């Protein structure tokens, strides 16, 4: 081995990715898989996260899995893009700090930690890697109005002096983007805390580090792309952002039109970019697909359908003459002919909380059967495995496995 002392030699080469959580606010889409496996465009969110890590030259990935762990394992197997993956099981989800502890035997020395359900530009990862020199923990700091949701930080030069978990609105603009670098000392801190508490968020450990020793937690400002999906309709904006950036895994056939080689697109079809059609998908004659349509692997779009601003996940069939705007359809759905989902805005009720003016035509969870001529009123949510009969007008929420007839 050479003894070159270039900067890259000392950068962390291992990363821990937290992918054990369900993502409760994304129900009913998470019935069969954890949030990191929900579609961002046509690929799981987690695939984009791993892409960012590998693009940032990480060559050793540790995935902490829990909720529906087999879905993660069977998708990625033992390697992704030739980088080996080691799995660590978190049997009960007791917070992000507890999740990280499950990977204690994984990385050696300094390592990166990212969330498996947040899309990040690989340059954020690189920035954190480079900034992680003298501190126990280094985290990426992003500026934006989301501080209210994600917890604000006080950044003094390159040092984090305070984490504020529930900031009062608008007081703070800097927040923690959930991309960290740690030395292995973090594990000792976490273990000391875990003895005392049941639930163990990572932020508790970072608070502890700040309290124990000044300058032990560093922060690095970044303005690269960072995006999270909190609610089911966020999958639409996530898909739009990815399509606009061309972060899709299919070859370009024309500027922002991406079609996999194994897809079958009828010559009399109009694809309006940005649009992606993934492998083995079928687009029948006369369909108009896009702008902002993500058609997943082995999905079928029936003839004459008009789709814009949609995410159609793997193996779902959309019948002929469907009109769908702002629609999220999960995996393995059978949608009959002539569905109408005219798009938002809508008031959506989720867990007794009303979200006003959401741009959402509807959400159809995995393996839903919809008969011919059904209509989704804006904001409709259909639970997994539900059956909706011919001509039904769907309003509000339909429970998992239920059957609705006109």
Partner 1 sequence: MCGIVGCLGRGEDTVDVLMDGLRSLEYRGYDSAGIALGPSMDVLRKSGELDALAEVVDATGPTGTYGIGHTRWSTHGPPNDRNAHPHTDEAGRVAVVHNGIIENYAELKADLQATGVTLTSDTDTEVVPHLIAQALDAGADPETAFHNTVDRLEGSYAIAAVIEDCETIYAARQGSPLVVGVGENCTYLASDVPAFVEHTRDVVFLKDGHRVIATADGYTVLDEDREPVDVDIETVSYTAEATGKSGYDHYMLKEIHEQPTALRQCFSGRSDALEGTVTLEEIDEIPQPNAVQFVACGTSYHAALYGAAILREMGIPAEAYLASEYALSPPPVSLGTLVVGITQSGETADTLAALRDAKSRGVSTLALTNTVNSTAARECDHAVYIRAGPEIGVAATKTFSSQLVGCNLLAEELVDGPRDLRPLIESLRNLPDDVQSILDSSAAEVLVEEYADSEAYFFIGRGTNVAVALEGALKCKEISYEHAEGFPAGELKHGPLALVTPETPVFAVVTGDDERARKTLGNIKEVQARGAPVIAVTDGHSDAAEIADETLMIPETDERAAPVLANVQLQLFSYHLADALGRPIDKPRNLAKSVTVE
Residues that bind partner 1 in the complex, under the rule CB under 8 A? 32, 65, 68-70, 73-79, 82, 84-89, 261-262, 264, 266, 279-280, 282, 284-285, 297-298, 300, 314-315, 317, 331-332, 367
The set of residues, in sequence order, having a beta carbon less than 8 Å from that of 56 and lying 6+ positions away, is 122, 123, 125, 126, 129
* Other beta carbons less than 10 A from residue 6's beta carbon: 8
Provide the total of helices (H) and of strands (E) in the chain, helices listed first. Answer: 8, 38
Length of the chain: 406
Cβ–Cβ under 8 Å, residues 56 and 125:
yes
Task: Report the alpha-carbon distance of residue 245 to residue 322 in Å, rounded.
Answer: 28
The residue among 32 and 161 lying less far from partner 1, judged by its C-beta, is 32
User: In the bound complex, what is the minimum distance in angstroms from residue 19's beta carbon to partner 1?
Assistant: 12
The residue among 345 and 401 lying less far from partner 1, judged by its C-beta, is 401
User: In the bound complex, what is the minimum distance in angstroms from residue 190's beta carbon to partner 1?
Assistant: 22
Exposed / middle / buried, residue 405 (Cβ in 10 Å: 0-12, 13-18, 19+): exposed
User: In the bound complex, what is the minimum distance in angstroms from residue 321's beta carbon to partner 1?
Assistant: 17
Q: How many CA atoms lie within 13 A of 163 on its CB side?
A: 24
The residue among 35 and 367 lying less far from partner 1, judged by its C-beta, is 367
Could you give phi then psi for residue 341, rounded to 5 degrees? -135, 100
User: In the bound complex, what is the minimum distance in angstroms from residue 313's beta carbon to partner 1?
Assistant: 10
The residue among 139 and 299 lying less far from partner 1, judged by its C-beta, is 299
User: In the bound complex, what is the minimum distance in angstroms from residue 285's beta carbon to partner 1?
Assistant: 8
User: In the bound complex, what is the minimum distance in angstroms from residue 201's beta carbon to partner 1?
Assistant: 24
Task: Report the alpha-carbon distance of residue 306 to residue 268 in Å, rounded.
Answer: 13
The residue among 14 and 331 lying less far from partner 1, judged by its C-beta, is 331
Using only C-alpha atoms, the chain has a radius of gyration, in whole angstroms, of 22
Its sign, for the CA torsion 112, 116, 117, 118, is: positive
310 membership: H or E segment, kind and range? strand 306-312
C-alpha torsion 206→211→213→214, nearest 10: 90
User: In the bound complex, what is the minimum distance in angstroms from residue 274's beta carbon to partner 1?
Assistant: 24
User: In the bound complex, what is the minimum distance in angstroms from residue 80's beta carbon to partner 1?
Assistant: 10
The residue among 72 and 217 lying less far from partner 1, judged by its C-beta, is 72
The residue among 314 and 321 lying less far from partner 1, judged by its C-beta, is 314
Q: How many CA atoms lie within 13 A of 178 on its CB side?
A: 25
User: In the bound complex, what is the minimum distance in angstroms from residue 27's beta carbon to partner 1?
Assistant: 15
The residue among 92 and 168 lying less far from partner 1, judged by its C-beta, is 92
Q: How remote is the C-alpha of 31 from its chain's centroid?
A: 15
* Axis-axis angle for helices 185-196, 202-212 (nearest 10): 110
The set of residues, in sequence order, having a beta carbon less than 8 Å from that of 327 and lying 6+ positions away, is 307, 309, 310, 311, 312, 341, 361, 362, 363, 364, 376
The residue among 6 and 70 lying less far from partner 1, judged by its C-beta, is 70
User: In the bound complex, what is the minimum distance in angstroms from residue 34's beta carbon to partner 1?
Assistant: 12
The residue among 41 and 302 lying less far from partner 1, judged by its C-beta, is 302
């Amino acid at each position: 081995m050479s003894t070159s002392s270039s900067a890259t030699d000392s950068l962390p080469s291992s990363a821990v990715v937290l992918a054990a959580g369900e993502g409760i606010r994304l129900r009913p889409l998470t019935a069969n898989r954890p949030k990191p496996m929900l579609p961002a465009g046509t690929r799981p969110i987690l695939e984009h996260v791993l892409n960012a890590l590998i693009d940032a030259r990480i060559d050793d990935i540790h995935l902490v899995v829990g909720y529906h762990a087999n879905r993660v394992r069977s998708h990625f197997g033992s390697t992704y893009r030739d980088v080996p993956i080691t799995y660590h099981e978190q049997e009960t989800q007791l917070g992000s700090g507890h999740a990280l502890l499950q990977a204690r035997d994984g990385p050696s020395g300094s390592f990166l930690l990212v969330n498996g359900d947040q899309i990040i530009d690989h340059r954020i990862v690189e920035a954190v890697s480079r900034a992680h020199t003298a501190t126990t923990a280094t985290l990426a700091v992003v500026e934006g109005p989301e501080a209210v949701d994600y917890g604000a930080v006080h950044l003094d030069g390159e040092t984090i002096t305070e984490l504020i978990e529930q900031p009062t609105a608008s007081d703070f603009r800097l927040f923690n983007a959930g991309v960290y670098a740690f030395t292995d000392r973090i594990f000792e801190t976490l273990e000391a805390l875990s003895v005392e508490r049941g639930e163990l968020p990572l932020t508790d450990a970072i608070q502890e580090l700040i309290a124990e020793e000044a300058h032990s937690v560093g922060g690095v400002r970044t303005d690269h792309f960072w995006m999270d999906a909190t609610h089911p309709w966020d999958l639409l904006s996530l898909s739009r952002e990815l399509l606009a950036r061309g972060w899709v895994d299919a070859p370009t056939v024309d500027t922002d039109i991406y079609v996999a080689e194994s897809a079958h697109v009828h010559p009399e079809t109009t694809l309006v970019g940005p649009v992606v059609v993934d492998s083995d998908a079928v687009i029948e004659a006369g369909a108009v697909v896009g702008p902002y349509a993500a058609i997943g692997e082995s999905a079928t779009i029936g003839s004459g359908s008009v789709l814009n601003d949609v995410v159609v996940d793997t193996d779902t069939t959309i019948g002929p003459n469907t009109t769908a705007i702002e629609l999220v359809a999960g995996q393995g759905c059978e949608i009959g002919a002539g569905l109408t989902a005219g798009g938002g805005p809508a008031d959506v009720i989720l867990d007794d909380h009303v979200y006003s003016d959401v741009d959402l035509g509807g959400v159809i969870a995995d393996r839903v059967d919809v008969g011919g001529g059904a209509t989704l009123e804006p904001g409709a949510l259909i639970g997994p495995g539900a059956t909706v009969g011919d001509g039904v007008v769907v309003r509000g929420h339909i429970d998992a496995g239920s059957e609705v007839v006109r």
